[in-house]
Amino acid sequence: MLTKEQILDAAEAVLRKYGPRKTTVVDVARALDVSHGTVYRHFATKAALHEAITSRWVERVTAPLDEIASKPASPARRLREWFETLMEIKQHKVHDDPEMFESYSLLAQKVPDHVVFAHLEVMISQVSRILQDGVEQGLFDVTDCDATARSLFDATLRYHHPLHVKEWNSPHIREEFDALFTLLERAIEKH
């Protein structure tokens, strides 16, 4: 029996081959050697399939970040590691699988806003959790962990948002990130 995961695997392969503009549900069904009606039984519309593909991708991004947020390590170390990992995940996807990165970027623009906003809120809550641990341990001077998490996220957009993908080829991108993040760390340190 065909599962949603099998359909999503096939959809990713088809997206990689044809891109999001040319990929159809019929292409996905053909790759699975089933009728397009079979795919529609799992995903009522092409938009629903796109939403599922996008959700799956963002889960792949947030899962390793959640592991970092949940570690028993120092909050200061976890905070930097969380942002470094986010940057590395996004940049590796661009360099290792540019076709899929482009597909996901285009799909993310088409899915309902709630999918993207939910993804952002998950990530902000992970950072907020790390900040709260730092406040409780007397390491961070932060009064509103959610607002500070959002500010840190916004301040680092250049290093993980797809709009900045061309900048990621700079040979100095890592040094620039380190300099910025050191400044951000000093801003929240308890003095």
**pLDDT digits 0-9 by tens, 57-97:** 888 888 999 999 999 999 999 999 999 999 999 888 888 77
What does the domain layout of the chain look like in residue ranges? Answer: 1-44, 50-188
The mean of the pLDDT values for the chain is: 90
Measured distance CA(55)–CA(108) in Å, rounded: 9
**pLDDT digits 0-9 by tens, 118-140:** 889 999 999 999 999 999 999 99
**pLDDT digits 0-9 by tens, 138-165:** 999 999 999 999 999 999 999 998 889 8
Asked if domains 1-44 and 50-188 share a fold, the reply is no
- CATH annotation of 1-44: 1.10.10.60
Neighbouring CB atoms inside 10 A of 71's CB total 15
50-188, what's its fold? Tetracycline Repressor; domain 2 (1.10.357)
> Which three-class secondary structure string do you get for 83-133?
HHHHHHHHHHHHHHCHHHHHHHHHHHHHCCHHHHHHHHHHHHHHHHHHHHH
